[in-house]
């Protein structure tokens, strides 16, 4: 069975890390499948939203598979390997991405969640960057985490490697929603369904503008003009017509 399950339903692609017996640890094969899936959903015009989750209910992902690293005789050095970096591939999907964290999101698993635009969690979810306990580097996390939450808190998480429960993660702004574990699947389905009622070109525009201009000066950022142009789209005309006619819009993504 594939280590990554891909389920396209309507305009959403649901990607499920499928190594529950290893708490969805990221081995070489799973990372390769994730990169390939990131390319596929990027190129598929029928996919408007991407959801990333873990199988089994115990973990989103506990990060890099240390047994896999040991068997290969070395750990991968980020950004200089032949293979594309999996976190970068997910980060650069030009459509809204949602990480659904049920259980542990540790190390590379936490980084994978950070690569998504939105993060929702079960009330028993736990986040952490334990690389300082393992002699690893958390290359992606050390760059992105201080941009997502207050810098001093991010550095404490990185330095000490302590675990952060879901409620605290939400307080810090690392997580958007926390729901009871028994209700997680239903709540996520509803949240994604609501997101899909928003204009897809507008969402893509937001992602491109916010991401590509992350640290640009405001005057330059305002002139970036990244992503699809919703102002001249058929969807913009449809949105105005739907408002005037008091009906839900019928988006086409063009």
Beta bridge partners of 49: 12
Is 111 marked active-site? yes
Model pLDDT, residue 64? 85
Give the model's pLDDT for residue 84.
86
The dihedral through the CA atoms of 187, 54, 154, 192 has a sign that is negative
Assess contact for 22 and 64: CB atoms under 8 A: no
Q: What is the mean pLDDT of each run of 10 residues along the chain (254 residues)?
A: 95 98 96 97 98 98 74 67 88 98 98 98 98 92 97 97 97 98 98 98 97 92 93 95 96 96
Which residue's entry shows tokens 């999101």?
105
- Rounded to 5 degrees, what angle do the CA atoms 15, 16, 20 make? 165
Is 190 one of the annotated active-site residues of the chain? no
In this structure, are residues 30 and 54 in contact, taking their beta carbons and an 8 Å threshold? no
Please state whether the predicted TM-score (pTM) of the whole model is above 0.95: no
Active-site residue (options: 111, 190, 194, 215): 111
Catalytic residue among 3, 83, 92, 131: 131
pLDDT given for residue 112 in this prediction: 98
């Amino acid at each position: 069975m594939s280590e990554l399950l891909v389920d396209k339903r309507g305009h959403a692609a649901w990607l499920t890390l499928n190594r529950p017996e290893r708490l969805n640890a990221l081995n070489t094969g799973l990372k390769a499948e994730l990169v390939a899936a990131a390319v596929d959903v990027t190129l598929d015009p029928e996919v408007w939203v991407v959801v990333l989750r873990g199988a089994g209910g115990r973990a989103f992902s506990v990060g890099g598979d240390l047994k896999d690293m040991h068997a290969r005789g070395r750990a991968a050095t980020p950004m200089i390997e032949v293979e594309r970096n999996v976190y970068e591939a997910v980060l650069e999907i030009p459509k809204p991405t949602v990480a659904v964290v049920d259980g542990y999101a540790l190390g590379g698993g936490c980084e994978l969640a950070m690569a998504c635009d939105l993060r929702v969690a079960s009330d028993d979810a736990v986040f952490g960057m334990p690389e300082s306990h393992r002699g690893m580097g958390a290359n992606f996390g050390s760059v992105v985490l201080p941009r997502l939450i207050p810098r001093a808190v991010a550095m404490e998480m990185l330095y000490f490697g302590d675990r952060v429960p879901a409620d605290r993660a939400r307080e810090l702004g690392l997580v958007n929603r926390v729901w009871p574990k028994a209700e997680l699947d239903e709540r996520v389905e509803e949240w994604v369904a609501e997101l899909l009622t928003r204009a897809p070109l507008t969402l893509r525009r937001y992602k491109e503008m916010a991401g590509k201009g992350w640290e640009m000066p405001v005057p330059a950022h305002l002139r970036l003009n990244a992503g699809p142009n919703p102002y001249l789209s058929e969807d913009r005309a449809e949105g105005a017509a739907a408002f005037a006619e008091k009906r839900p819009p019928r988006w086409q993504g063009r």
